[in-house]
Amino acid sequence: MKLQPIIGLEIHVQLKTKSKMFCSCDNAGENAAPNTTICPVCTGQPGTLPVMNRQAVEWTIKTGLALDCQIPKYSKFDRKNYFYPDLPKGYQISQYDQPLCQNGFLEIESKGEIKKIRILRIHLEEDAAKNFHASGGHNTLVDYNRAGTPLMEIVTEPDLRTATDAKAFMQKLRLIMRYLDISEADMEKGHMRCDANINLWEIDGVGKKIAATPIVEVKNMNSFKALERAIEYEIKRQTKEYQETKKTIADAPKTTRGWDDTQGITEPQRTKEEAHDYRYFPEPDLPLLRLDHKGENAIDINAIEKTIPELPDEKRRRFEKEFGISSADIKTLVGDKELSEYAEEVISELREWVCTEVATDGTEDEEWEKYGPKAVKTAINWLLNKLAKHLNKQNINIKKCKITPENFAEFIKIINQNKVNSTVAQKVLDIMFISGKDPSNILEEEDLSDTASDNELEKIIDIIISKNPEPVANYKKGKINAIMFLVGQIMKDTRGKSNPEDIKKILEKKLK
């Protein structure tokens, strides 16, 4: 008996619009004092009327277009009725049968292959308030700052088969949200939340589906790691349960379980409601949306499509074509929108330098093709390995770094011109990171730019050889590492301003 996991995701993404979904309240209440960014509309006071946030609608359509969704000609809002303390009106304004986006897909990499995950729908709704269980008591407190926040729900088809694929899907979706600049999509902060619908298909020896197990919705997964662990656990739990009971989807209703990250298990919560339990009906206080309308209040799909930036897959393909760097480096760059933009600015500056100062007699493209790869490789190496260490240590992103792309490009230019060795270059970078100063000024201020000339270096090397007969003799006897002692002595004599690799090469020639 073979059991194949069937996984579908329901993802909620908070949109970072300036105001809430149906009122003018500030949508930045996350860090504000409880119940301070509220009004009669988002707290459900009688007699209030919602006013639709146009930008939230446009951003949802923008997401749909980025995920290859179909955009219908008409869409509408509906009331989803249920009672809970975090829902002050007694209903949520959501979308039911006419969502803004339908039938899209997102491609992920799975075991070295590209897998297409279909997207059933994307709809827009208002978020609920947030419940807090008071410590040391039996009361639950409600903060309505979050109530009314624009919330986009993305529902996938059950196309995922492993926890790893589900994690990869969520990570790529988060990256797209950040490239579109519509959400921070931070799971730990609740900007992006995910529920997973999981069950199993029993497959016979020829690959035919025999029976499906009951569907379980898993909630409370607040990180990519938690998502992966919860799905892996639930697959094992359902496998064991089916082997023992043989219950199929016809024998039990859909249930909800919550993930306990501390214990590493899912726990039963409740029987899952069906759509009819919510008694959906069209929102009477909001008009039908005409998405192809060209009038005064039009939602112009063509105009929205033009605002979509270069997305991660497109950027990855362009970087592969233009920069000639490793796949791992490209993945790191594309995985951080701001870092990739910084790198492109640096490379643009380097291209200008190569084509104006290094160029000989070819065209600009020919000169860049000839000299550019070395400059790019050096820049990416220092950016991802050296500068990244400083950023990680300070726990900041590249946007908060004091080193401008122009100064970083000048720093790479100095390295490529062999004006400094790697030791001096590291000192310069350290000072640049702290001060944000120009690298040329740092070289002058710190007296780091005066490297020994070739003739001076030759003389120093000859003196060190004559003063250290023992390591010289050891090297000539085959003790290769003895040469490093001599390199160290020469570096000390030149105050670290010479290139140790150059010194080593000269020594090897002299000691043959």
* Structure confidence by residue, pLDDT tens digits, 52-86: 999 999 999 999 999 999 999 999 999 999 998 89
Q: Which tens digits make up the pLDDT trace of 371-386?
A: 889 999 999 999 999 9
Q: How many CA atoms lie within 13 A of 59 on its CB side?
A: 25
Distance of CA 263 to the CA centre of its chain: 28
What pLDDT, on the 0 to 100 scale, is given for residue 272? 66
Q: 311 exposed, middle or buried (CB, 10 Å; 0-12, 13-18, 19+)? A: middle
Distance of CA 237 to the CA centre of its chain: 31
Which amino acid would we find at residue 178? R
What pLDDT, on the 0 to 100 scale, is given for residue 350? 94
- CB-based contact 57:289 (threshold 8 Å): yes
C-alpha–C-alpha distance, residues 148 and 126, integer Å: 5
112-115 long-range contacts, CB within 8 A, separation 24+: 115/159, 115/165
What pLDDT, on the 0 to 100 scale, is given for residue 273? 66
Assign domain 454-510 one CATH number from 3.40.50.300, 2.40.50.140, 2.40.110.10, 1.10.10.410.
1.10.10.410
C-alpha–C-alpha distance, residues 101 and 62, integer Å: 10
What pLDDT, on the 0 to 100 scale, is given for residue 359? 61
φ, ψ of residue 92 in degrees (nearest 5): -115, 135
Q: Which tens digits make up the pLDDT trace of 199-237?
A: 999 998 788 888 999 999 999 999 999 999 999 999 999
Query: In which element (H, E) is residue 461 found?
Result: helix 454-467
What pLDDT, on the 0 to 100 scale, is given for residue 362? 67
C-alpha–C-alpha distance, residues 389 and 488, integer Å: 26
pLDDT bracket for residue 5 (50, 70, 90):
very high
C-alpha–C-alpha distance, residues 443 and 449, integer Å: 5
pLDDT bracket for residue 361 (50, 70, 90):
low
Residue range 362-372: average pLDDT? 79
**Cα Rg, the chain, nearest whole Å:** 31
C-alpha–C-alpha distance, residues 150 and 148, integer Å: 6
Residue spans of the domains in the chain: they are 11-196+275-305, 313-430, 454-510
- Among 315, 301, 307, CA closest to 344: 315
Distance of CA 375 to the CA centre of its chain: 27
